[in-house]
Amino acid sequence: MPQETPDLRNLREPVRFKRALTLLLMTLVLPGSAQIVAGSRKAGRWVWRVVAGLVAIVIFFVILGLIWRSGTINILARPGTLRIVQVLLILLAIGWAALFVDAYRLGQPLTLERNHRLMTSIMDGVLIVVVVGALIYASVIVNTQRDFVASVFGNGQKSKADKGRYNVLLMGGDSGSDRIGTRPDSMTVASIDADTGRTVLIGLPRNLAKVPFPAGTAMAKQFPEGFKWNKCAAECLLNAVYTYAANHKNLFPGDANPGETATMQAIEAVTGLKLNYYVLIDLAGFRDLLNAVGGITLDIGKRVPIGGGSSPIKGYIEAGKNQHLDGYHALWFARSRAESSDYERMARQKCVMSAMLNQLSPQTVLTKFQGIASASKQVVKTNIPAGELGTFTDLALDAKKLPVSSFSAVPPLIHTGDPDFALIRTKVAETIAKSESLDKDGSGGDGKTSSTPRSSTSKSSPAPTTSTTKKPSTKKPSTSPTTPAAGVDDVASICKA
């Protein structure tokens, strides 16, 4: 039964004023408590049950996150879950606003002096605006995240880790006005340990020629001796596989992304790795994404031109330690070819990827999520399913704690015009084995003992059968004074001034 409204006329006016303010503050700290004290106890108890239920849900997911972080993220990142959270936030905002209005009524403002009544009204209005505004803003962020997940992460098939590793192809696509179609000028395989998150970056030059394809694929039938000159003249390079497949969709019936499929097949044959997923980033929009996260900081060993090629050089990114680059300058640092080689460019791109991995904190993602999501929807295309978002977020958090190693298939080790693919596959396997040994021997590579040692037998990565075989090359590798040494390296070592 509702409580009778007490007669406050016998109380001194300052006491009535303090009582009115207290009821508002009680509603802020513990919704429903004002009703328990001065209104309907039944209504107040129902509010407490709702609050207790919400707190229990939060505690449940916090505990679940401590036990099973990736699974918790996967659950919370689902569009359906996010829609439920959005609706709950809106309902909570409406209900809390109603409680503030009722608490104001219970304070009996008409019994207060004019100034005290005005102050109580202002305080009630401010609390409603702050609390309801915060909840509505939170619902907008949740809706943005739901839209982001739905638009960027598709309904691709879930792919299991192969021999304990996830291999993700990262492509930088350049669809500028001076070229027809998208052509991925930057191709890097991120090979990620499924237990520790320790990552190896495998760089593949865009001008790699005669690339093979796995036996039985449509491209292998078209190019049984590799992607060679007699079929596509001087354009038969690794970065042209995408365009060729996109222009010959009849070879890929029912495939909505033939360019990505063919490129993944080629790189599987080149590296000997089974690729799980791809991520295609439009380089032109990469600038907005970096601006959204506040840029990156790098040690730059050599100044890099801004512009060049078909356009004039507009300036330089100067060498130096702790150089902070916004999106515009970071993009040119990653893509500039003037006064350097493709292989130096590949090294710079590794630096950018490593910096983003190490510097993009959860706090940055949370506070700048709106900008990140807006930029990402425009520049990112991937076949990673939404259900795997938690898995890769979890691995990224682990990877931040560990150094990143890499291998680049570039001169002088690899002659890009006539590559020794057997040597590339051998070097890729050696690089991954060396990375895994850091966890196997317990050193962790970061001065700490690894908590997840791996068995040596579970990590072998045999090369897939390809449409062409090639004996190890006996010719002397090409040399170039402008190219960095190829082979295994710690990415941090090539990003120092």
- Cα–Cα distance between 55 and 153 in angstroms, integer? 30
| Between 355 and 23, residue with greater pLDDT | 23
Which residue type is seen at 221?
K
Alpha-carbon Rg for the chain in angstroms: 29
| pLDDT-based confidence at residue 371 (cuts at 50, 70, 90) | low
| pLDDT-based confidence at residue 44 (cuts at 50, 70, 90) | very high
| Between 165 and 13, residue with greater pLDDT | 165
- Cα–Cα distance between 51 and 468 in angstroms, integer? 65
Q: What is the pLDDT of residue 200?
A: 93
Asked if 236 and 123 sit in the same domain, the reply is no
Mean local confidence (pLDDT), 179-205: 83
377-417 pLDDT, tens digit each:
666 788 888 888 888 888 888 887 888 888 989 888 999 88
Asked if 346 and 306 sit in the same domain, the reply is yes
**SS3 of residue 15 by DSSP:** helix
Asked if 130 and 214 sit in the same domain, the reply is no
Asked if 129 and 202 sit in the same domain, the reply is no
Percent of the chain with pLDDT strictly greater than 70: 77
Note down the domain range covering 36: 13-152
**DSSP secondary structure code for residue 153 in this structure:** B
Asked if 52 and 178 sit in the same domain, the reply is no
**SS3 of residue 373 by DSSP:** helix
Inform me whether the pLDDT recorded for 465 exceeds 50: no
The last residue of one of the domains, among 86, 119, 152, is 152
Count of the separate structural domains present in the chain: 2
> CB 71: neighbour CB atoms within 10 A?
14
The angle that helices 327-335 and 283-292 make with each other, rounded to 10 degrees, is 140
Asked if 216 and 136 sit in the same domain, the reply is no
Asked if 278 and 334 sit in the same domain, the reply is yes
Handedness of CA 468, 469, 473, 479 (dihedral sign): positive
The last residue of one of the domains, among 85, 117, 152, is 152
Q: Per-residue DSSP letters for 241-305? A: HHHHHHH-GGGSTT-S-HHHHHHHHHHHHHH-----EEEEEEHHHHHHHHHHTT-EEEEESS-EE
- Residue 158 maps to a domain: no
Asked if 78 and 200 sit in the same domain, the reply is no
Inform me whether the pLDDT recorded for 449 exceeds 50: no
Inform me whether the pLDDT recorded for 496 exceeds 60: no
Q: What is the pLDDT of residue 327?
A: 86
Q: What is the pLDDT of residue 96?
A: 97
- Residue 159 maps to a domain: no
Asked if 281 and 247 sit in the same domain, the reply is yes
Q: What is the pLDDT of residue 456?
A: 37
- Residue 3 maps to a domain: no
Q: What is the pLDDT of residue 467?
A: 45
Mean pLDDT for the chain overall: 81
Asked if 143 and 179 sit in the same domain, the reply is no
Which residue type is seen at 41?
R
- The token pair at 321 is 């330690």
The angle that helices 41-67 and 79-106 make with each other, rounded to 10 degrees, is 150
- Residue 251 maps to a domain: yes
- Residue 314 maps to a domain: yes
| pLDDT-based confidence at residue 321 (cuts at 50, 70, 90) | confident
Phi/psi region, residue 294 (left: phi>0; alpha: psi -120 to 50; beta: rest), is left
Residue 237 CB contacts under 8 Å (≥ 6 apart), including other chains = 206, 207, 208, 209, 227
Query: By mean pLDDT, which of 175-184, 193-202, 296-305, 331-340 is the weakest?
Result: 175-184
Q: Find the CATH number of the domain harbouring 490.
A: 3.40.630.190
Asked if 118 and 169 sit in the same domain, the reply is no
Handedness of CA 478, 479, 483, 484 (dihedral sign): positive
- Judge contact between 162 and 194, C-beta under 8 A: no
Inform me whether the pLDDT recorded for 448 exceeds 60: no
- Residue 302 maps to a domain: yes
Q: What is the pLDDT of residue 439?
A: 81
- Residue 4 maps to a domain: no
Asked if 372 and 267 sit in the same domain, the reply is yes
- Residue 398 maps to a domain: yes
